[in-house]
């Protein structure tokens, strides 16, 4: 506890520093608040309590932030313990957000920290309006896109009240990045979708006929066999029974092709597309995110403008640059897109194009044209009703130049996509 106050005192001294040879300089803003006052009243939301989130929470608590909330829908797995240092073996199976908050509370009792064991999509709009800024430590691009779209929408709807800076961090092995997103002012996350690594995929013909790697056998079990045997049940990468089933089936197939190396960890990594994590990279990126939060809240120094890239692959390299805002962005730009496809393209292939296009990168798009439902992913009844349209050509379903309404789990609002025939 004593060390916590020492850290707090160190931050206070830093925030009280004045530049030499400057007369008449005041550390008080128009509301008579000092940088220390701004820090004390800041309310910060940390999204994700994993590798990055643990580091960020620790840094925030030791940097003078007094009101912290953390939200995460995940529970602690044994494989997390090598880098997510707020957890212990006895915590396996417990909610990450709750355990992380309890640890910070014990270590820094002067900090108010509140946990939320929920999906970010479950929280109402008013929840997000209550924060000074948001720090994302997520390993899911889909979740990062969703919160980015939500906060950009809050600015449009509520003006300055909805303005919540987002500090977004991400790591992949020995590489990492951090960015400061000022909604409606600079580039949002969707403006730079091409910066993010695509999910590793394997040719279906290789998976089905000539597997050469353990990953091919795992994909065969999870992508081809699971839907065939369990047509009404979705494979859950966090369910041990599901993953053990995949391991069993993949191992049997691997034996037929003299392939070795299949285990539970690899199977879960392939199913969930887990990105390799290194604790030290998490620490570097989390430190940048926390420093940017401190600067944004207190205005003690200029904040990052607006993207930082770190690489430790060959030596050490770090570079920052202002990523330009995209006027055609689907979230903060005109919210419209276009596709040009042959008229005989099946609707199912149009949906695939929306998934694979670097512009859209949608996960499970639902399509409609006016009052006509072309294809709905959910609910089950509507999916079954619109499923026959998947095999139909787009020329049968609508005219060239038609503007479709598209919704997707990665977005908080719909977007318009104009399809022309080539």
Active site residues per annotation: 205
Task: Say which residues have a Cβ less than 8 Å from residue 338's Cβ, sequence separation at least 6.
Answer: 417, 418, 419, 420
Say if pTM beats, i.e. exceeds, 0.85. Answer: no
- Amino acid 2: pLDDT: 46
pLDDT at 232: 82
Distance CA 64, CA 290 (A): 11
Burial state string for 371-409 with b = 16 or more CB within 10 A and e = fewer than 16: eeebbbbeeeeeeeebeebeeebbeebbeeeeebebbbb
CA 164 to CA 160: how far, in whole Å?
9
HEC sequence for 234-273 = CCCCCCHHHHHHHHHHHHHHHHHCCCCCCCHHHHHHHHHC
d(CA 345, CA 397): 11
Class of residue 4 by CB neighbours under 10 A (exposed 0-12, middle 13-18, buried 19+): middle
Buried b (16+ CB within 10 A) or exposed e, 285-314: bbebbbbbbbbbbbebeebbebbbebbbee
Contact 61, 11 (CB under 8 A): no
Residue 133 β-bridge partners: 44
- Residue whose entry in the numeric block shows the structure tokens 């989130």: 53
Q: How far apart are CA 359 and CA 194, in angstroms?
A: 8
Find, among 19, 120, 123, 130, the residue nearest to 72 by Cα. Answer: 120
Distance CA 49, CA 70 (A): 7
Residue 83: both structure tokens together: 């880098």
- For the sheet with 366-369, list strands across it: 336-341, 415-421, 402-407, 366-369, 372-375
Cα of first residue to Cα of last residue in the chain, in angstroms, is 68
Cβ neighbors of 271 (< 8 A, separation 6 or more) are: 218, 222, 235, 237, 243, 246
Chain CA centroid to CA 136, Å: 7
How many Cα neighbours within 13 Å face the side chain of 397? 31
Residue 341 DSSP SS3: strand
Give the bridge partners for 319, in sequence order: 309
- Decide: 173 and 282 in contact? Cβ < 8 Å: no
Find out whether 323 and 306 touch, Cβ atoms under 8 Å. Answer: yes
- For residue 400, is the peptide bond before it cis, meaning its omega torsion is within 30 degrees of 0? no
306 prior amide bond cis, ω within 30: yes
**How is residue 188 written in tokens?**
């949002």
Contact status, residue 152 vs residue 331, Cβ threshold 8 Å = yes
Tokens of 356: 């694979």
Residue 173 CB partners (closer than 8 Å, separation 6+): 275, 276, 277, 278, 281, 313
Instruction: Give the C-alpha separation, 167 to 191, whole Å.
Output: 15
Q: Mind listing the pLDDT tens digit of every residue in the chain (422 residues)?
A: 444 445 556 677 677 666 555 565 566 666 778 888 889 899 999 999 999 999 999 999 999 899 999 999 989 988 788 889 999 999 999 999 999 999 999 999 999 999 999 999 999 999 999 999 999 999 888 889 899 989 998 988 888 899 999 999 999 889 999 999 999 899 999 888 777 666 666 667 778 888 999 999 999 999 899 988 998 888 988 788 999 999 999 999 999 999 999 999 889 888 877 767 889 999 999 999 999 999 999 888 889 999 999 999 989 999 999 999 988 888 887 777 888 999 999 999 999 888 888 778 888 889 999 888 999 988 888 888 899 999 999 998 999 999 999 988 887 778 889 999 98
> Can you say how many angstroms the Cα of residue 329 is from the centroid of all Cα atoms in its chain?
18
């Amino acid at each position: 506890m004593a060390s916590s106050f020492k850290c707090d005192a160190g931050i206070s001294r830093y925030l009280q520093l004045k530049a030499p040879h400057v007369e008449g300089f005041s550390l008080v803003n128009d509301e008579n608040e000092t940088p220390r006052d701004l820090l004390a009243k800041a309310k910060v939301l940390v999204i994700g309590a994993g590798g990055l989130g643990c580091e960020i929470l620790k840094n925030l608590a030791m940097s003078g932030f007094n009101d912290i909330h953390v939200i995460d829908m995940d529970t602690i797995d044994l494989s997390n313990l090598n880098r997510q240092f707020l957890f212990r073996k006895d915590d396996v199976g417990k909610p990450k957000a709750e355990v992380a908050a309890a640890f910070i509370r014990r270590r820094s009792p002067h900090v108010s920290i509140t946990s939320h064991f929920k999906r970010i999509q479950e929280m109402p709009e008013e929840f997000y309006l209550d924060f000074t800024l948001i720090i994302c430590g997520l390993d899911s691009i889909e979740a990062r896109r969703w919160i980015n779209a939500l906060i950009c929408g809050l600015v449009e709807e509520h003006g300055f009240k909805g303005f919540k800076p987002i500090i977004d961090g991400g790591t992949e092995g020995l590489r990492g990045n951090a960015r400061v997103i000022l909604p409606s002012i600079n580039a949002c996350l969707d403006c730079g979708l091409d910066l993010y690594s695509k999910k590793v995929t394997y040719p279906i013909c290789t998976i089905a006929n000539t597997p050469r790697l353990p990953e091919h056998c795992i994909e065969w079990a999870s992508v081809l066999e699971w839907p065939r045997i369990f047509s009404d049940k979705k494979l859950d990468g966090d369910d041990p029974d599901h993953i053990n089933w995949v391991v069993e089936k993949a191992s049997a197939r691997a034996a037929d092709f003299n392939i070795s190396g299949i285990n539970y960890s690899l199977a879960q990594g392939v199913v969930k597309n887990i990105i390799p994590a290194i604790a030290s990279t998490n620490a570097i990126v989390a430190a940048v995110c926390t420093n940017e939060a401190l600067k944004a809240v207190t205005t003690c120094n200029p904040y990052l403008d607006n993207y930082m890239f770190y690489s430790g692959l060959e030596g050490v390299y770090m570079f920052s640059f202002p990523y330009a805002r995209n006027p055609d962005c689907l979230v903060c730009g005109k919210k419209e897109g276009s596709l040009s496809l042959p008229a005989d393209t099946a609707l199912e292939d149009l949906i695939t194009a929306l998934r694979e296009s670097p512009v859209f990168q949608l996960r499970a798009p639902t399509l409609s044209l006016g009052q006509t439902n072309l294809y709905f992913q959910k609910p089950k009844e509507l999916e079954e009703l619109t499923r026959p349209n998947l095999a139909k050509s787009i020329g049968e379903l609508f005219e060239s130049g038609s503007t479709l309404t598209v919704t997707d789990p990665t977005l908080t609002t719909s977007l318009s996509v104009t399809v022309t025939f080539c």
